[in-house]
Amino acid sequence: MDSPDPDGVLAEQLLRLTRRLHRLQRRQLEPLGITPAQARLLRTVAVCERPPRMADLAQRLEVVPRAVTSLVDGLEEADRVRRVPDPESRRVVRIELTEGGREALRAMRSARRGAVEEILTPLTAEQRSVLGGLLSTLVDSPGRPTETAPPPEESG
């Protein structure tokens, strides 16, 4: 019988943890009427220096432009974003947060903290610190492709 592959076991544990975090976050977002994809778009708009174009959002989110259109339509209907004309080109449309979008971001931060707290409950403060250091090493490792996704919500 083969002995377990430690890297394979670790990969499976990371995948299971990621799925659990996504489930908890989805459950926390549901009462807000926000999908995880909409949450990601809101965070992306929030960290942009100026209201992004739809094409900018598609590129940063690594999705097709049509997917961004659908997300913006839903968020605009919920008064969380609005389409605004670009001051430099009438043909360009930019997406900006509304006050409802800023409120949603605050609620999303709280939801994410709740989901993370639920996962981290069994860990001591020292274990959390060690885990944070290990995750930073993995996230910031050299040779890793540059990420186009927004930074964590707390930045936005």
Q: Specify the pLDDT at position 3.
A: 72
Instruction: Give yes or no for a contact between 100 and 80, defined as CB atoms under 8 angstroms apart.
Output: yes
Query: Is the residue at 150 inside a domain?
Result: no
- Residue 45 falls within a domain, yes or no? yes
Is 144 a domain residue?
Answer: no
pLDDT at 145: 53
Average pLDDT along the chain, 156 residues, taken 10 residues at a time: 82 91 86 91 96 95 94 96 92 95 93 87 96 90 55 40
pLDDT, residue 111, reads 83
DSSP character string of 27-64: HHHGGGT--HHHHHHHHHHHHSSSPPBHHHHHHHHTS-
Predicted model pTM = 0.73
Beta strands per DSSP E along the chain: 81-85, 93-97
Number of domains in the chain: 1
CATH number where 54 lies: 1.10.10.10
Residue 78, helix vs strand vs coil: coil
Is residue 119 included in any domain, yes or no?
yes
pLDDT in the model for residue 60: 95
Residues of the domain holding 34: 17-126
